[in-house]
Every structure is written in C-alpha cells, then in structure tokens.
C-alpha cells in the first residue's frame, strides 16, 4: 500500500486490545483505502470512490473515528451533509457501516428516493 507500512488485515480490537483513538484512526485509514478499491460499490450503489472524504480525522478525546465516501448523486463541491453518502466508523462499541441520508437533503432528492419526513 502506498505510504503505509501495513495493510488492512481486519479490525484488531477486542478484550485484549481495546479501541484507542490513535489505533482506530490508523485502522480507519487502512479500511477506507480498502473500501475505495471496491469497484462493486461504484457499480451497485454509484459510490464515488475517488470523491473526497474527511480531509482530516482529528480529535483525541474519544476512541471513535469516522469517514465517508460520497455517492455520485452529490454535486461537485457539495457538502457531504447535503447528499447521501457511505459512512464508516470505528468506536469502542464496534464497527459501523451505513448509507447516510442527511436531514438537509434537497426536496428533489427526497422525492427521488421516496423519503418523507
């Protein structure tokens, strides 16, 4: 893997290795690099694998990190909080993977996906 000394080998956390911020951040970055290689995400749900994620994973108070992959329905430069995206997170409770539909979706996009408040 370019720029790393390790490659993604799964989530090492458990009773013998609790989640820490720095280790979660390292594993998160490796997992996202691996997810961005998954062409089926692009084919099946139109993930924009080369689209931006979080520019920087910051913070150290909590043992939780997250990042996202935008979907192609997002306009260039549009904030991820305005369009659906894939979210991946690691915290002390486990690993999360989800499709996120933000509250600030446009009315047209809400109609397209059949979402009603």
* Residue range 65-95, pLDDT digits in tens: 999 999 988 777 788 888 889 999 999 889 9
The per-residue pLDDT for 115 is: 64
Sorted by sequence, the CB contacts under 8 Å of residue 34 that are 6+ apart come out as 8
3 located within any domain: no
Structural domain of 70: 21-113
Domain-embedded: residue 14: no
The answer to whether position 53 is within a domain reads: yes
pLDDT of residue 77: 75
Helical (H) or strand (E) element with 87 = strand 85-91
Residue 25 belongs to some domain of the structure? yes
d(CA 98, CA 65): 14
Residue 114 phi/psi, 5° resolution? 75, 25
pTM (predicted TM-score): 0.81
Has residue 93 been placed in a domain?
yes
For residue 1, what pLDDT band results from cuts at 50, 70 and 90?
very low
Q: Give 7-50 pLDDT, tens digit per residue.
A: 788 889 988 999 999 899 999 999 999 999 999 999 999 999 99
Q: Quote the number of domains for the chain.
A: 1
């Amino acid at each position: 893997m370019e720029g790393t000394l390790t490659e993604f080998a799964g989530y090492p956390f458990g009773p013998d290795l609790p989640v820490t911020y720095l280790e979660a951040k390292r594993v998160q970055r490796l997992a996202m690099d691996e997810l961005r290689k998954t062409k089926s995400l692009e084919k099946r749900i139109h993930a924009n694998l080369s689209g931006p994620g979080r520019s920087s994973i910051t913070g150290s108070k909590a043992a939780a990190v997250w990042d996202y992959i935008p979907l192609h329905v997002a306009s260039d430069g549009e904030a991820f909080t305005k369009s659906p995206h894939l979210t991946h997170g690691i915290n002390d409770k486990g690993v999360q993977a989800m499709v996120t539909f933000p509250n600030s979706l446009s009315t047209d996009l809400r109609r397209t996906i059949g979402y009603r408040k």
